[in-house]
Amino acid sequence: MNNAITKIGVFTSGGDAPGMNAAIRAVVRASIYYKKEVFGIMRGYEGMIDGDIVKLGARSVGNILQRGGTILKSARSQEFRAPEGRKKAFDQLKKHGIDALIAIGGDGSFAGLHVFFEEYHLPSVCIPGTIDNDIPGTDFTIGYDTATNTAVEAIDKIRDTALSHNRLFFVEVMGRNSGYIAINSGIAGGAGAIIIPEDHMTFEALYAILKPGEETAKKSNVVVVAEGSKIGGAIELARKVAERSSYFDIKVTILGHLQRGGSPTYFDRVLASKLGVAAVEGLLHGKQDVMVGVLDNKISYTPFETVRSGTHAINEEDLRIAKILSI
C-alpha cells in the first residue's frame, strides 16, 4: 500500500456519459474506506486551472448512483493544452495538497493527463467513460450500455411508426469513429442495414440491400447509421436513395445527444462502481499513468502508451451476424 498518497483528486472531462456519477461515488467512498482524503475537481482541467476544487465526503455522493450526467461537471480546456496552463493546474493541486489524480473520461482526457504526468509525475489513473466504447484496454466503457439501450428503445418506437405508414427510416446514432452503438443497436433493433465507420460498405451495396424491398413490395424498414459513416450521414443517404427511387417513403431520425442522457443501466452502474474502486486501489498499489478497465471480465490496468497506440476494433463476428440477419 502506497502510504505516500494522502489526498486524491477526481474529475470528469470531455463528453458526459451515463454512469460517471456512479464512478465518482465509488472513487470517493473507496478513498475514504482506505482513509484517504478525496477532492472533487469541478469542470475538468478548466476547474483544475481555476482552483475550483471541493473536498468530498461519503455523504457528498449520496443519491447520485442513478443519475445521468456528472455532478462534477465537464468542460474542454484549451488553456490546459499549453505548458503555462498545466503549470497553473499543478500549482492549484499543490495548494490543496492533492498528490494523486483519477480522471473519468475519454481518450482526449487521458492524453492530457499523460502529458501532465510526464511533466509533474503526479500518480494518475484513468477510468474510461464514453458512450462510444472506442477505447482499447477495456471490453466496455462506462456509458456505452446505457447509450445502446437508449438507441434500441428509440429504434423500437421508430419501427412501430415505420410499420404503420410503410416507411423506410434512416436512424443516425452517435459514433464518430466507432460503430459499436450502431452495430449492436442495429442487431437488437432488427435493422435492415447497418452503416459503421469501420466497414467498407459503399452506397451501391446499401442500395442493393434495399432494392429487393421494392421488388417484393416491402416498404417498411430501418437503416441504422453511425454518425461517422464514410458514405454519408443519415440525411445524405436518405437523399441519395430518394434520388435513385421514388418507391420509398423515407424519413430520417437523428438521435444525437439523447444517447448521452438518462439514468444509467444496472450494467453501467456496476461497471462504474468496480472501476472506481479499482482506480483507487491501483493508485494505492503503485499504479500510475495507466487506465483501469475490464478485459475478459477481470480488472486490468493498461499503460497509457498502449491505450494511445491501440484501437478497440469492432468484432468481425458482429458484422457477419448483422449481414446475415438483415435479409
The 10 Å CB-count burial string (b at 16+, else e) for 179-201 is bbbbbbbbbbbebbbbbbbbbeb
CA-wise closest residue to 4 among 269, 284, 240: 284
- For residue 77, CA distances in Å to 35, 36, 43, 95 come to 32, 28, 9, 20
Handedness of CA 7, 290, 84, 50 (dihedral sign): negative
Active site residue 268: no
Neighbouring C-beta atoms of residue 120, cutoff 10 Å: 15
For 116-166, give the DSSP string: HHHHH---EEEEEB-TT---TT-S--BTHHHHHHHHHHHHHHHHHHHHHHT
Tell how far CA 97 is from the center of its chain. 31
Q: Residue 77 is placed in which grid cell?
A: 480546456
What is the number of H-type helices and E-type strands within the chain?
Answer: 11, 11
CA-wise closest residue to 322 among 207, 192, 210: 192
- For residue 297, CA distances in Å to 119, 138, 274 come to 34, 9, 11
Q: Which residue has the cell 501532465?
A: 116
Terminal alpha carbon distance of the chain: 56
- For residue 13, CA distances in Å to 62, 118, 254, 281, 305 come to 21, 19, 25, 21, 19
Catalytic residue among 132, 199, 268, 289: 132
The SS3 assignment for 77 reads coil
Q: Are 176 and 133 in contact (CB under 8 A)?
A: no
**Residues recognised as catalytic:** 132
